[in-house]
């Protein structure tokens, strides 16, 4: 998306290399993981648990447990995130591109526990304005999640207010992505101006 071809090759090569190393050390566990455990949600508790702040977890709390809903929402999120990253890269703002990449990864991951949202720390540093910092702190500090009933599939019977609080991280990230997407389409979001094209001699 950004023209960094070497990085595009290094990332999957690193993934395959580390996975191959694990397979050599623990072949039995590797086979069991990739053939059954990776799809077994019971290994990480229930997907609808409040501490799973991913699209998958939020959809489960809304009762949409079909893999199709998750795949469709994840694909849409990936598409919007890729376009945003490309635009921020074009405008010379790698910090914003990195934060969009991190947020998109947290949303589409099958499980994103609350401590995975550590990216809220550099996000708070990136934001300007006291109000934005207060909002980020309130959302990602875990305060909102502490006031909703949890455990025993209680997330399936939350009222609308509890649904908002119990999915605060996911909804905030989606809202931020939607705002950035609209601004991208209208070319009005702040950032460094696009680099002028090089003149061909």
Q: Which pLDDT does position 77 carry in this prediction?
A: 93
Structure tokens at 61: 């709390």
Answer whether residue 200 shows pLDDT above 60.
no
**52 and 149 part of one domain:** yes
Question: Do 82 and 167 share a domain, yes or no?
Answer: yes
DSSP conformational letter for 154: G
pLDDT for the residue 45: 58
Cα–Cα distance list, 159 to 1, 57, 88, 100, 123 (Å): 41, 17, 38, 30, 30
Closest CA to 106 of 52, 184, 47: 52
**Contact residues for 58 (Cβ-Cβ < 8 A; gap 6+):** 167, 170, 171
7 domain-assigned:
yes
Q: Which pTM was predicted?
A: 0.77
Same domain, 81 and 130: yes
pLDDT tens string 59-113: 989 988 888 899 999 999 999 999 999 999 888 888 889 999 999 999 999 889 8
Mean pLDDT score across all residues of the chain: 83
Q: Are residues 30 and 50 in the same domain?
A: no
Looking at the structure, tell me whether residues 99 and 71 fall in a common domain.
yes
Please report which confidence band the pLDDT of residue 15 belongs to, taking 50, 70 and 90 as the band edges: very high
Domain that holds residue 81: 46-186
């Amino acid at each position: 998306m950004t023209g960094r071809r070497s990085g595009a090759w290094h990332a999957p090569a690193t993934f395959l290399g580390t996975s191959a190393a694990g397979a050599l050390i623990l072949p039995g566990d590797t086979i069991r993981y990739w053939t059954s455990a990776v799809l077994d949600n019971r290994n990480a508790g229930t997907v609808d648990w409040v501490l799973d702040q991913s699209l998958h977890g939020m959809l489960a709390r809304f009762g949409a447990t079909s893999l199709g809903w998750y795949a469709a929402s994840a694909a849409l999120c990936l598409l919007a995130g890729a376009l945003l990253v490309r635009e921020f890269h074009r405008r010379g703002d790698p910090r914003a591109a990195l934060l969009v990449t991190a947020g998109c990864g947290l949303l589409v991951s099958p499980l994103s526990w609350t401590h995975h949202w550590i990216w809220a720390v550099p996000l708070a540093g990136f934001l300007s304005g006291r109000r934005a910092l207060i909002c980020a702190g309130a959302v990602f500090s875990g305060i909102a999640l502490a006031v909703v009933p949890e455990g025993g599939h209680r997330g399936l019977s939350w009222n609308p207010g509890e649904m908002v609080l119990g999915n605060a991280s996911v909804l905030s990230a989606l809202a931020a992505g939607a705002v950035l997407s609209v601004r991208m389409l209208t070319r009005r979001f702040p950032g460094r101006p696009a680099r002028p094209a090089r003149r061909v001699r």
